[in-house]
Amino acid sequence: MNAAPAPRSETEASGQHDGGYTGPARHVAIIMDGNGRWAKKRLLPRAVGHKRGVDAVREVVRAARHMGLEALTLYAFSSENWKRPEDEISDLMGLLRAFIRSDIDEFAANDVRLKIIGNYKVLPADIVAMIEDALARTAHNSRTTLAVALNYGSQQEIARAAAAAAAKGEVTVATIEAELDTADMPPLDLLIRTSGEVRLSNFLLWQAAYAEMWFTDVLWPDFTPGHLREALDHYATRERRYGGR
């Protein structure tokens, strides 16, 4: 779906661009789509696709840290995903438990701060406890922030933020932004969606107002650090005008 990015000039690589180039991406978000289709193509249960998707998450998080990203936000479970069959939700919750257990030590050792956006407190009590322990263990890490969207919906987030701003007496762009789940993160630079779908699916609607978009036909379990690098290289060739000329 995406043409190969043009070679970067020395000017672009140095972070200087005549038309509004603003340097390397600091914050990347990914809609991780295609686990079910990956499994279906191989005549495997959807649960296998989700498990392979978790493996891809692990590799991409490591790559983001090595590539110097300040923040990576992953759409793991939307507020609409509760409509899925109960057995699939149960599988996803089991994978979330396993991921936290297996990866939190690596996060802690490598200066990765875990952050959750969305209302995770409605998840099963044992998962909430695991998440809160992981948040506490990594709270002071600063090299990379990994934000995981759990029970997240952007329209709901914006409504909550606007209500909170109103309760404090003033509703402006700045006061709403201060109440968003991502308020302590860098502005979103690049939003990636896998699997060939070209929509935002209620993800970071406010934050994506001026973010660059990169869509790929690659199904999420097949998404590699090389694909992330391709997206970042393509981002580096773009001119961000923010409404200007």
Is the model's pLDDT at 19 over the cut of 60?
Answer: no
Q: Mean pLDDT over all residues of the chain?
A: 90
Name the active-site residue from 33, 91, 103, 181: 33
| Residue 48 burial (10 A CB sphere; 0-12, 13-18, 19+) | middle
Both tokens assigned to 175: 């006061």
pLDDT digits (tens, 9 = 90+) for 46-72: 999 999 999 999 999 999 999 999 999
**pTM, full prediction:** 0.88
CATH fold, domain 24-153+190-236, is Undecaprenyl pyrophosphate synthetase (3.40.1180)
pLDDT digits (tens, 9 = 90+) for 159-186: 999 999 999 999 999 999 999 999 999 9
| Cα distance from N-terminal residue to C-terminal residue, the chain | 27
| Cβ atoms of 139 and 107 closer than 8 Å | no
pLDDT of residue 32: 97
Confidence band for 243, pLDDT divided at 50, 70 and 90: confident
SS3 category, 131: helix
Both tokens assigned to 201: 């699916």
- Of the candidates 186, 151, 175, the residue with the CA atom closest to the CA atom of residue 22: 186
| Cβ atoms of 62 and 143 closer than 8 Å | no
Confidence band for 245, pLDDT divided at 50, 70 and 90: low
pLDDT of residue 57: 96
Asked about 151 being catalytic, the answer comes back as no
pLDDT of residue 11: 33
> For the CA atoms of 218, 51, 57, 219, what is the dihedral angle to 10 degrees?
10
Structural domain boundaries of the chain? 24-153+190-236
Mean pLDDT of the 97-114 span: 95
pLDDT: which is higher, 135 or 3: 135
Asked about 91 being catalytic, the answer comes back as no
Is the model's pLDDT at 89 over the cut of 60?
Answer: yes
Is the model's pLDDT at 17 over the cut of 50?
Answer: no
H-state helical runs in 110-186:
125-138, 154-167, 173-177
pLDDT digits (tens, 9 = 90+) for 7-16: 333 333 333 3
pLDDT of residue 50: 96
Mean pLDDT of the 88-109 span: 94
Name the active-site residue from 18, 55, 81, 87: 81
pLDDT of residue 228: 97
- Residue 2: HSE in the Cβ half-sphere, 13 Å Cα cutoff: 23
pLDDT of residue 55: 96
